[in-house]
Structure 1
Amino acid sequence: MTRDSVDQRALMADEETGQPTEKPQPAGRSVHPIVHITSWIFFSNLTILFNKWLIDNRGFRYPVILTCWHLIFATVATQILAKTTHLLDGRKNVKMTGKLYLRAIVPIGLLYSASLVCSNMVYLYLSVAFIQMLKSAAPVAVLLTSWAWRVEDPSLKRLLNVLLIVGGVALASFGEIDFSLTGFLFQIGGIIFEAVRLVMIQVLLSEDGQKMDPLVSLYYYAPVCALMNILIAIPSEANSFDFADLAKCGYWLLLLNAIVAFMLNVSSVFLIGKTSSLVMTLTGILKNILLVVASVMIWHTSITPLQFCGYAVALGGLVYYSVGWEQITGVSSAIWLWIRSLWEAPTRADESRLPPAFRRALFMTLGTLTVVILVAGALYGTGTGANAVAAVQASLSGAAGGTPTS
């Protein structure tokens, strides 16, 4: 297993995402890759935030049943797509036999099911921001598992990098205000199950020369996972399940939730077909950062300075582990040159181009908005922003009612 393959699989695998592998040939060249990158970030983060919102805000506190519903929907949807579209034509390249199904698909599907259950159970106990911080250790688990399976040779340099990431995650854990040991163990369990699954995919399927994109893998894994989740849900949640909670949550919301989770798999197929492993690595890191900021602003999650420092250390170690110093400097230089070329672009006769002054003002406005959003998220996370808003509202209401304010 190469380093790029480990990084790509660890960063691209998500709560509802199947197995990413080698890039298939893109179906067309009319759509810019940034569209596929944006759509994958959107559906990935929306799936996580949607699941958390259903469990916490809509009172559907049945994560196993919710996961089971996603997989039943995915089973039906992949069967329909296989018969009506070309999105699953990749399955024709898979030589599926009874022996391969029992030897690889079933055990990998069971691990996938366990990973999904743990990933949704953790929403009962931890905030989305802290969950994403813990997920920074996912590549570490994949690397250690690959060492244990002897598909990659250990090295001191990689070990030190791993320890840096683990140290950052540990700092973030110590700084978490609402720490739950049960939720922490669920998340670590989900990471371990996913790491073993990814390595087993590399070992078992590669030996038979099988390669699957996320949608094709979901086509084979979803029925196994759905059956496994039904067996888990019967003893764990069936006795406490109340059908009134379905109506309270909303049937259409649950259907929309399953569609969003499934669209994540579809968007990942196009992302893999349009980008490189480096782009996917950087996209995964950017996705996690945006998700932390979004969760802080939506739920006003408290982020302590120690937790922020720990997450920054873990992300720094993750970038260095995934990309390497040479590519970091190369990408940074390329981005800087691109920004300079846009900033200092000379005026041309082409009237379709924006004037340089307007273009610079636009960049400054976007930069300012980005900073404001990040600062607002940090203030809401610490409670300062919420307290300030409450104080202003109290002052305005007091002034309107003639009540003196101090």
Structure 2
Amino acid sequence: MKPTGKLFTIGLITFWYSSNIGVILLNKYLLSNYGFKYPIFLTMCHMTACSLFSYIAIVWLKVVPMQTVRSRVQFAKIAALSAIFCASVVSGNISLRYLPVSFNQAVGATTPFFTAIFAYLMTFKRESWLTYVTLIPVVTGVIIASGGEPLFNLFGFIMCIGATAARALKTVLQGILLSSEGEKLNSMNLLMYMAPIAVVCLIPAALIMEENVVGITVALAREDLSIVWYLLFNSALAYFVNLTNFLVTNHTSALTLQVLGNAKGAVAVVISILIFRNPVSVTGMLGYCLTVIGVVLYSEAKKRSK
């Protein structure tokens, strides 16, 4: 790879890390520390930004070729994926109100476990016995981390598990529903179609479940204009998480992406502890490390089984 190509890839990975970790930390700050306790409205802001920026990137800037929805059946499939995607993001944001980022990331690392379960239940796809064995430390690590988490909250834990399971379900369903050549969409085009559907679903949910959230947000903005900038910056970051993930996938190998993804969770944990100074226990950190080791072994087992 040429030096300029290396610099571009390093810059891309840095931006990917920054946007991923930044949106998690800012979500935590807004929902927990700042006191903006409206995760559904926050998710709606994210999806609105994703709708707008996706359209600009694909239709105007031609970042990727535009792919069209070819039938009502395909649109229905995209809508179903959008609903699951919404459930995942909302549940994840709710969990950040009650759990520290470090523990949230530990639970989120169990995604391969749920992916393997849903893949088996929905497609009867069996992995090698070694792949299933590697899932044992993934789950065991979270159990240990849960027992050693000083700020453990049952409701937050359930929401985090729900977000992780929904994320895995979306991955499996996406492979099933959009498997034919005529229906396949790259992640950026899929986001462009899913995000507006998500906004339509989230508007009534926010108005009903988070009563007077618009009025409260306006009142907060009059008292402290920084909330507007927080929401705008956070929403923009939510889009760039998806954009940079797509670009990093295209500019690196699958193995590199797996290694970077595993390391990203660890970096997020360290940074969140330094910023929010949430208490951590040796047991909790050992549990998280065991989960990460399990995820690495799972990735390696999957690679060898192909």
TM-score of the pair, normalised by structure 2: 0.91
The answer to whether the 8 Å contact 2:92/2:160 transfers is yes
- Residue 35 of structure 1 deviates from its aligned partner by 2.0
Are 1:268 and 2:241 counterparts?
no
1:323 paired with 2:300, answer yes
2:60 counterpart letter in structure 1: T
Percent identity, aligned pairs only, is: 27
**Quick one: distance in 2 between partners of 1:275 and 1:311?**
26
Are 1:39 and 2:12 matched, yes or no? no
Answer yes or no: is 1:98 the counterpart of 2:75: no
Q: CA deviation at 1:325?
A: 10
Asked if 1:236 is matched to 2:209, the reply is yes
Q: 2:192 aligns with which of 200, 219, 227?
A: 219
2:277 is the counterpart of 1:300 = yes
Relative to structure 1, the CA distance from residue 81 to residue 159 in structure 2 (aligned partners, 3 Å threshold; closer, same or farther) is closer
CA distance in 2, matches of 1:151, 1:272: 28
2:207/2:213 contact within 8 Å kept? no
Letter in 2 for 1:250: I
For 2:103, the equivalent position in structure 1 comes to: 130
Cα distance, 1:250 vs structure 2: 2.3
Q: Deviation at 1:155?
A: 3.9
Give deviations 1:331-354, integer Å, cap 9, x for gaps: xxxxxxxxxxxxxxxxxxxxxxxx
Report the CA distance between 1:260 and its aligned residue. Answer: 1.5
Give the unaligned 5+ runs of structure 2.
none
Q: Which residue of 2 aligns with 1:152?
A: 125
Does 1:256 find its partner at 2:233?
yes
Query: What amino acid is the match of 1:135?
Result: G
Aligned AA for 2:247? F
- What SS class does the counterpart of residue 178 from structure 1 fall into? coil
Question: Per the alignment, do residues 112 and 98 of structure 1 end up closer, same or farther by CA in structure 2, a change over 3 Å counting?
Answer: same
- Tell me the distance in 2 between the aligned counterparts of 1:183 and 1:61: 13
Query: Corresponding residue for 1:161?
Result: 134
Root-mean-square deviation over aligned CA pairs: 2.1
Preserved contact between residue 177 and residue 302 of structure 1 (Cα < 8 Å): yes
Amino acid at match of 1:281: Q
- Matched letter for residue 275 of structure 2: I
Contact 1:60 1:245 in 2 (8 A): no
Answer yes or no: is 1:245 the counterpart of 2:220: yes
1:214–1:268 CA contact under 8 A, matched in 2: no
Aligned to 1:80: 56
Q: Deviations over 1:137-182 (max 9, x none)?
A: 1111111110111252144322222122101110001100111110
d(CA) in 1 for partners of 2:143 and 2:26?
27
Asked if structure 2 preserves the Cα contact closer than 8 Å seen for 1:115 and 1:194, the reply is: yes
Matching residue of 1:119 = 92
Contact 2:188–2:246 (CA<8 Å) still a contact in 1?
Answer: yes
Separation (CA, whole Å) in 1 of partners of 2:158 and 2:60: 42
**Which structure dedicates a bigger proportion of its chain to helix?**
2
Determine if contact 2:23/2:237 at 8 Å carries over to the other structure. yes
1-structure distance, mates of 2:227, 2:272: 23
Aligned to 2:257: 280
100, 105, 110: which one aligns with 2:83: 110
Counterpart of 2:248, as a letter, is L
Q: How far apart are residue 126 of structure 1 and its match?
A: 0.3
**Separation in 1, partners of 2:297, 2:131:** 10
Structure 1, gaps ≥5 residues long:
1-27, 328-406
**CA displacement at 1:30 relative to structure 2:** 7.7
8 A Cα contact 2:131 2:302, kept in partner: no
In structure 2, relative to structure 1, the CA distance for the partners of 1:178 and 1:290 (3 Å cut) is same
Distance 1:140 1:209, change over 3 A: farther
2:41–2:213 contact (8 Å) kept in structure 1: no
Q: 1:216 to 1:318 in 2, by over 3 A?
A: same
For the residue of structure 2 that corresponds to 1:32, the secondary structure is helix
One-letter identity of the residue aligned with 2:82:
G
Amino acid in structure 1 at the alignment position of 2:220: D
1:234 Cα deviation after fit: 2.1
TM-score, normalised relative to structure 1? 0.69
Q: Which residue of 2 aligns with 1:10?
A: none
Q: Structure 1 residues 251, 210: closer, same or farther in 2, change over 3 A? A: same
Letter in 2 for 1:279: T
Q: Structure 2 CA distance, aligned partners of 1:258 and 1:236?
A: 21
> Relative to structure 2, which stretch is displaced further, 29-38 or 173-182?
29-38
Change in CA separation of 1:263 and 1:193 when aligned onto 2, cut-off 3 Å: same
Is 1:57 paired with 2:33?
yes
Shift of 1:202: 0.3
- Which one has a bigger Cα radius of gyration? 1
Q: Is the 8 A contact 2:43 2:90 kept in 1?
A: yes
Q: Is the 8 A contact 1:59 1:245 kept in 2?
A: no
